[in-house]
């Protein structure tokens, strides 16, 4: 159910790529290459603040903004939330410690 919602959201966001920035908030974000990443960072900070000092309702609202803007950033890079879901699926059942140890250093 939630996966379906994320996929539909990501599809809608992807459909805004290349559309008129004056008619779409998402298109406006994607019209400036660094803007989706900056906006995601802003939403991440707001989520942390809500987690530390806000109510549960504030945290949920900020987390929703964070997920939305992550989908925008992915779409701006030509990616889709399914790419993230596939990576999470690949990691399922693997210890976080083992998964990090198996990563190739950058």
Name 6's Cβ contacts closer than 8 Å, sequence gap at least 6: 67, 71, 81, 85
Domain residue extents for the chain: 2-102
Name 1's Cβ contacts closer than 8 Å, sequence gap at least 6: none
pLDDT tier, 102 (very low <50, low <70, confident <90, very high otherwise) = confident
Residue 2 has pLDDT above 70, yes or no: no
CATH annotation of 2-102: 1.10.287.1080
- Per-residue pLDDT reduced to its tens digit, 26-81: 999 999 999 999 999 999 999 999 999 999 999 999 999 999 999 999 999 999 99
Average pLDDT over residues 12-18: 96
- How much is the pTM? 0.88
Contact 67, 57 (CB under 8 A): no
């Amino acid at each position: 159910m939630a996966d379906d919602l994320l996929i539909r959201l990501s599809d809608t966001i992807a459909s805004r790529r290349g559309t008129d920035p004056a008619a779409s908030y998402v298109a406006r974000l994607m019209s400036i290459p660094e803007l989706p990443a900056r906006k995601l960072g802003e939403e991440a900070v707001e989520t942390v603040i809500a987690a530390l000092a806000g109510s549960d309702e504030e945290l949920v609202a900020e987390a929703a903004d964070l997920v939305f803007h992550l989908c925008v950033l992915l779409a701006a890079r030509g990616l889709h939330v399914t790419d993230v879901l596939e990576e999470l699926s690949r990691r399922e059942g693997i210890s976080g410690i083992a998964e990090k140890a198996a990563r190739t250093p950058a």
